[in-house]
Chains A and B, each alone.
Chain A
Amino acid sequence: MTTSSENPILITAARLLAPFIQVFALYVIFHGHYSPGGGFQGGAMLAASVLLLRLSLGTKTAQLNFKRVWGTPLGSIGAMIFAGTGLLTLFFGGRFLEYHFLPIPDLSRGELHSTGILFVEIGVGLAVMATLVAIYDDIVEGTSED
């Protein structure tokens, strides 16, 4: 599972598909305000593109795309972005996750809420993506390292 299949059709198809999946995943995350989608869905698609490269190129080559050691730290950064947004509003006089207390000047109350939702979606997307990749890496870690 960790070695490359060395099948040119598989490798070429996966390398062609992965960037488009990633772009569409970013679209799903950032367009979640206007269309179906959001952090969870976009994060799962980002993880799918990374895992596609992991499965087709082999774990060793795919390290160039997303290193194994990044998984768990990036996941915690995503969770911290979410909790940090809540704590930021707490420090600036609001309640936890009360977005219109975010310290961004020249924005109306509704726009501040919109920005807060964007921060939260980015945090969720990062946490879901990194955690799914990290779980896959943990599971395949022991299999036939060469």
Chain B
Amino acid sequence: MKKISLIILSLFGGLLLYASSSLPNRGDPTAPAHRDRSMVGSQGAAAYYIQHAERDAATPNMVTVVLADYRSFDTLGETMVVFTAGLVCYLILRRSP
């Protein structure tokens, strides 16, 4: 059983290594993720953020703009997850207030 899982794991690792050899280079502007238009002709998200982030929010750090402005609803959810973890620890573990 151990031998079988070892063989499966090494096969899967080889598959991943083989697939990673044909990934686009880091920062390649012609990569599919950085296209201006997607295959069906809609606006590409990454290119839009890079072109508009500084002008839209007067903030040079584009990661902050994406995190707290374009994707702020997602960040709200993350904060609520952290806060819910704290609340659950409070409810389960604390005996005195």
**A interface, CB within 8 angstroms of B:** 32-36, 38-40, 69, 71-72, 75-76, 78-79, 82-83, 86, 96-97, 99, 108, 110-111, 113-114, 116-117, 120-121, 123-124, 127-128, 130-132, 134-135, 138-139, 141-142
CB pair B57 A110 closer than 8 Å? yes
Known: A97-B72, A117-B64, A120-B72. A79 touches B97 (CB 8 A): no
Indicate whether A76 sits within 8 Å of B61 (C-beta atoms), given known contacts A38-B67, A110-B55, A124-B75: no
The residue in chain A whose Cβ has the minimal distance to the Cβ of B92 is: A138
Chain B residues 39-53 with CB under 8 Å of chain A are none
In the bound complex, residues from chain B placing their C-beta under 8 Å from that of A139 are 89, 93
Interchain CB contact (< 8 A) of B86 among A72, A96, A108, A123: A72
Of the candidates A35, A110, A130, A141, the one whose C-beta lies within 8 Å of that of B95 is A141
Residues of A within 8 A of B85 (CB): 131, 135
Residues in B lying within 8 Å of A, measured CB to CB? 55-61, 63-65, 67-69, 72-73, 75-76, 78-80, 82-83, 85-87, 89-90, 92-97
Contact A32 B94 (CB under 8 A): no
In the assembled complex, the CB of B89 is this many whole angstroms from the nearest CB of chain A, namely: 4
Q: Are A117 and B68 in contact (CB under 8 A)?
A: yes
* Sample of 13 further A-B pairs with CB below 8 A, known A120-B72, A138-B92: A32-B64, A33-B59, A33-B64, A82-B76, A111-B58, A113-B65, A117-B65, A120-B75, A124-B75, A128-B79, A128-B82, A138-B90, A141-B95
**Shortest beta-carbon distance from B96 to chain A in Å:** 8
Residues of A within 8 A of B55 (CB): 110
Complex contact B61–A32 (CB within 8 A): yes
- Bound Cα distance A97, B57 (Å): 13
* Contact present for B76 and A117 (CB under 8 Å): no
- Please name the residue on chain A nearest to B86 by beta carbon: A131
Task: Give chain A nearest CB distance to B42 CB in angstroms.
Answer: 21
4 smallest A-B Cβ distances: which pairs? A110-B58, A131-B86, A113-B57, A138-B93
| Chain A residues positioned under 8 Å from B79 (CB to CB) | 78-79, 82, 123-124, 127-128
Q: A39 to B95, alpha carbons, bound, how many Å? A: 30
A-B contact pairs, 23 of them (CB 8 A): A32-B64, A33-B64, A72-B87, A75-B83, A78-B79, A82-B76, A82-B79, A86-B72, A97-B72, A108-B58, A110-B56, A110-B58, A113-B56, A113-B58, A114-B59, A120-B68, A121-B68, A127-B82, A128-B82, A131-B82, A134-B90, A138-B89, A138-B90
